[in-house]
Amino acid sequence: MDEVLEILENNARISLEDLQKLTGKSKKDIERIMKNYEKKGVIVKYKTIINKQKTDNKGVVALIEVKIVPQKDVGFDLVAQRIYRFPEVKSCYLLSGTYDLLLEVCGEDINTVASFVSEKLAPLSSVRGTATHFMLKKYKEDGVILVKEEKNQRLPIAY
């Protein structure tokens, strides 16, 4: 992967001056490279990782495995497109294995997610089954550890 991309992936807020120092490229070259990546869709969004466990956010996140029947001549793409367009779906991945799609779904509470599954997702003709897992705690996201690592508090045992 390109040096500029690697740096931006780890710190999207880095200044152009710092990028210039790290890469040895001119400010204009870096701006051109970034604009080109944005135009091509390589850089899609600049993102901040928020540890929602430390906010007043009371919503829930569910990971939903979806088994689907691929459609003739388009495979999984058309079904996935229909599903990922629901506003509740934050992420959608095609998988190998028992299930075909993995969705990250957010809602106000468990009932909101349950309603999404029963009223919008499951009734789709291509959906053959779902398995919903509610996220209890995030330890790490996008390579960033979200929990404070505590030292072992156990007392040593002597025999």
pLDDT one-digit tens code per residue, 14-26: 999 999 999 999 9
pLDDT of residue 107: 95
The residue ranking higher by pLDDT, 115 or 143, is 115
pLDDT one-digit tens code per residue, 36-72: 999 999 999 988 888 888 888 778 999 999 999 998 8
Residue type, 72: K
Residue pair 70/154 in contact (Cβ under 8 Å)? The answer is no
- Give the torsion sign (CA, 129, 133, 134, 140): negative
Over residues 128-146, the mean pLDDT reads 92
In DSSP terms, 105 is beta-bridged to: 62, 89
pTM of the model: 0.80
Over residues 24-30, the mean pLDDT reads 93
Residue pair 8/42 in contact (Cβ under 8 Å)? The answer is no
Residue 124 corresponds to which tokens in the numbers above?
């789709």
What percent of the chain clears pLDDT 70, i.e. is strictly above it? Answer: 100
The structural domains of the chain, ordered by start, are 3-40 (no CATH), 52-137 (3.30.70.920)
Question: CA 43 to CA 45: how far, in whole Å?
Answer: 6
Residue type, 108: E
Residue 3 pLDDT greater than 80, yes or no: yes
Burial 1-16 (b: 16+ CB within 10 A, else e): eeebeebbeeeeeeee
